[in-house]
Amino acid sequence: MTPAGALALKLILTPVLVGGASLAGRRWGSGVGGWLIGMPFTSAPIAFFLALDPGPRFAAGAAAGIMAGTASQAAFCLAYSWVAQRSGWAASLAAAAIAFAAATIVLDTFILPAPAFFVVTIVVLVVSLFLMPGQATRSARQVDFPRWDIPARMFVATAFVVALTTAAPLLGPRLAGLLAPFPLYATVLAAFAHRIQGPASAVGVLRGLLFGLFAFASFFLVLALLLPNGIVFAFISAIVCALLVQAASLLVGRRLGLA
């Protein structure tokens, strides 16, 4: 694919994915919206474009880093949720971003085989779910989103994908992978929910995200293992695996009353 073709694909695919996820999240509520964004709507395009250029082996290394970055997202969720109990959305978001950055720095110092890091990631997600603040009664008030909300989300996500894939050769596959899963979409959802509906709604978004991250981690484990054998086969396998895990995580979350 030519550079112009790859850029065109980035500019079309990313906003379509993020816009569609935004509408679905509005339809079924904050918890399900958070669960839905566990799917790699921004990170998967990044991995795909890296597989096209610089190549599948580079993308496999980045996929392993993205999978490890799931733990950074868990740190983001915990920090935002606990700070939100006493502070507004801006302070909560600042604390969450610091937690994500700190976790990323720590993760960048550890090198483990992808399957071993996957096990660590699953343990982190399970522990994080139990460490989240207790559920409170949430207001059923309808959120009145401004008209520019979804276009703004689409623009920010697209800009992030373009910027990161452009900088990836300079960052290296692992650091690029660790930075890729920064929860941009969760940031927007949680901050809006917090500001308009209160902290309990924001915590609902982030608890749902934690359930969705099981599929996220599974997706990138499959990519890390299979990308050297072919781009199409790896992505089809990863998508099927992620969809199965995502469905299972929703069922478990609903049974436990946590998603």
Domain boundaries along the sequence of the chain: 10-134+147-256
| pLDDT for res 140 | 47
Counting residues of the chain whose pLDDT is more than 90, the rounded percentage is: 32
| pLDDT for res 9 | 65
The residue type of 34 is G
Query: Residue 110: which pLDDT band, with cuts at 50, 70 and 90?
Result: confident
| pLDDT for res 141 | 52
Reported as a single tens digit per residue, the pLDDT across 111-151 is 888 899 999 999 999 999 999 997 654 444 555 667 777 78
| pLDDT for res 83 | 95
Reported as a single tens digit per residue, the pLDDT across 5-54 is 556 666 777 777 777 767 776 776 666 767 777 788 777 877 888 888 78
CA distance 213 to 43: 12
C-alpha torsion sign, points 10, 13, 17, 20: positive
CA distance 132 to 129: 5
Reported as a single tens digit per residue, the pLDDT across 180-224 is 778 877 787 788 778 877 888 889 889 989 998 999 999 999 999
Query: Residue 95: which pLDDT band, with cuts at 50, 70 and 90?
Result: very high
Reported as a single tens digit per residue, the pLDDT across 75-94 is 999 999 999 999 999 999 99
CA distance 16 to 238: 20
What's the full length of the chain, in residues?
259
Is residue 4 scored above 60 in pLDDT? no
Average pLDDT over residues 98-107: 90
DSSP line for the chain: --HHHHHHHHHHHHHHHHHHHHHHHHHH-HHHHHHHTTS-TTHHHHHHHHHHTT-HHHHHHHHHHHHHTHHHHHHHHHHHHHHTTTS-HHHHHHHHHHHHHHHHHHHTT----HHHHHHHHHHHHHHHHHHSPPP-----PPP---TTHHHHHHHHHHHHHHHHHHHHHHH-HHHHHHHTT--HHHHHHHHHHHHHH-HHHHHHHHHHHHHHHHHHHHHHHHHHHHGGG-HHHHHHHHHHHHHHHHHHHHHHHHHHT--
Average pLDDT over residues 95-113: 88
